[in-house]
Structure 1
């Protein structure tokens, strides 16, 4: 299985490029997550140098992102500054 953090970063990068936008990944991390019925990964990415008010960011939580062997169960975008945001996501492993 490939690294789910890197796979999500790649999916978000592709989504941004499809909308004509670019950014720099300043920080990324992941940690295992599990419930009684699911297992996966909690992922955090900090995106820097984003265009303030970029429409693609507000659409990102509802986007159909392709992350191999995972399903994006939850994704939240939190502003950190005028040009930085934190993306927090829960990736559930396909069983």
Structure 2
């Protein structure tokens, strides 16, 4: 039985906090997580729609997202990337794809 929030919710919180530290304000939209397993690991694949205010702070955060340290209790972010991005002068909408694995 799982206690506390799952990996999807923890990832959303970590993304919001990391963006905030970078000076970018984001809003998490719809998210989807599917179970994933390899021969040695178990986890989830995540697809999260996000929106933020267009500007240099958001751009810098998105450029460094793949290398970001996103701590999740009981999980590791094994892979993360911006899968798609659309912007106008005021708002930037994007989709983040990530793989989280359970810590042993």
Same fold by TM-score, threshold 0.5 exceeded? yes
Does residue 9 of structure 2 align to residue 6 of structure 1?
Answer: yes
Distance, in Å, in 2 between the alignment partners of 1:50 and 1:91 is 26
Helix, strand or coil: the match of 2:8?
A: helix
Shift in alpha-carbon separation, 1:52–1:85, aligned structure 2, 3 A: farther
Structure 1 match to 2:70: 65
Equivalenced residue count is: 95
Task: Say which one has the larger Rg.
Answer: 2
Distance, in Å, in 1 between the alignment partners of 2:100 and 2:23 is 25
The structure 1 segments of at least 4 consecutive aligned residues displaced by more than 3 Å after TM superposition are: none
Distance, in Å, in 1 between the alignment partners of 2:31 and 2:85 is 14
Instruction: Give the TM-score normalised by structure 2.
Output: 0.84
Q: Per-residue deviation at 1:79?
A: 2.8
